[in-house]
Amino acid sequence: MKNYLAKLQLLYKVSKEMSSKPRVLSEDGLLSRCKQLAPSLSQDKHKGQAGRIGVFGGSLEYTGAPYYAAITSLKVGADLVYVFCMKDAATVIKSYSPELIVLPYLDHAQAKVKIEPWLERLHVVLIGPGLGRDESTFMVIRQVINLCKKLRKPLVIDADGLFLIANHIELIRDYPAKLILTPNIMEFSRLVGNTDAEKYRENSSDLFDICPNLTILRKGPQDIIFDSKVEAKVTSSGSGRRSGGQGDLLAGTVATFLAWSLQKEPPTENEKTHDDRALLAAFGGCKLVRECNKLAFSKLGRSMTALDMTHEIHTVFDYYFENKKNNVGHIFD
């Protein structure tokens, strides 16, 4: 009887370990699927169908970050991008580009009333680039997240938005739509309360219990993307140049890819396939930005900045996501 019970306990332990072990997705397989995400360019489409993205960020001190996130989202292929910022940042951001719709509502006395009608039309909301850490701003962002929850809006949270979440984790409890967090290693440690970089999945278990719809993109030498069931790594080398703004480029790119991926039908209840559309979007964003970094660096070396990377979006997108071979293939290969 004891031997029988011991065998049962062993089988239970093995079964539990197997069920908790994530399925690792290949880079080639994910890239192949990413090529199917971009909506076709057709005369029958209407403005806005390829993505309406809202970027929440932009303060007196930080105007570049929301611009980089928004303009990258637009250049990757979103039709319309709205920037919700502080009044002091609005004119500056507008001067960077006439293509962005800039709304100075974050410090408005009736911020929630002003913002809510715009939220309803957005496909994806990005919170964090250039947000700052002013408590009055965080108060508005908490209201925005609760509105997004009510409206079931897909959400990407980056930068100072992650600082808010780390201190108010209840904001994402049972979030009803896809949610992507994009921390670097230090931000990730703050989120999970642990500095052991290798045990990223074990350290994230509480986050997945709080928010089953969560996907984490942990940025680093290799970007690691994972949810409660599957994971992937992006190993493209990029370059050693790390100028300010590259994380904002990534956040904007992921937001556009997420809008596209969610236009695809999810797996049905009869299918055993896990709904990894958020992970797919994060992978596409990582791949595109790393290759833009590599191509821009090959031309400019140490003088390369984040703005230079945005100029390579078209070439990289054609090569990796449209199967259009060009004269820079030797750099990628």
The predicted-structure confidence for 107-166, as pLDDT tens digits, reads as follows 999 999 999 999 999 999 999 999 999 999 999 999 999 999 999 999 999 999 999 999
pLDDT of residue 332: 64
- For residue 298, how many C-alpha atoms fall within 13 Å in the half-sphere facing its CB? 15
The Cα–Cα gap between 84 and 89 comes to: 10
pLDDT of residue 6: 56
Domain limits of the chain? 44-266+273-332
- φ, ψ at 283 (rounded to 5°): -60, -45
pLDDT of residue 43: 86
pTM: 0.91
pLDDT of residue 12: 43
The Cα–Cα gap between 220 and 235 comes to: 10
Q: Torsion angle of alpha carbons 265, 263, 31, 272, nearest 10°? A: -20
> Who has greater pLDDT, 91 or 14?
91
Between the alpha carbon of residue 10 and those of residues 3, 7, 16, 22, 23, the distances in Å are 10, 5, 10, 20, 22
% of the chain exceeding 90 in pLDDT: 79
Annotated binding site for (6S)-NADPHX: 130, 184-190, 248
Best CA proximity match to 285, nearest among 34, 26, 23: 34
- Between helix 64-76 and helix 246-261 the angle, nearest 10°, is 40
Q: Are 174 and 144 in contact (CB under 8 A)?
A: no
Annotated binding site for ATP: 219-223, 238-247
> According to CATH, what is the number of the domain 44-266+273-332?
3.40.1190.20
The helix/strand/coil state of 333 is coil
pLDDT of residue 333: 63
Under the banding of pLDDT at 50, 70 and 90, the label for residue 266 is confident
**Mean per-residue pLDDT over the chain, rounded:** 91
Mean pLDDT of 277-297: 97
Annotated binding site: 130, 184-190, 219-223, 238-248
The Cα–Cα gap between 61 and 237 comes to: 32
Q: From the centroid of its chain, how far is CA 108?
A: 27
The Cα–Cα gap between 183 and 128 comes to: 11
Model confidence over 202-259: pLDDT tens digits? 989 999 999 999 999 999 999 999 999 999 999 988 888 988 999 999 999 999 999 9
The lowest-confidence range among 61-70, 186-195, 208-217, 284-293 is 186-195
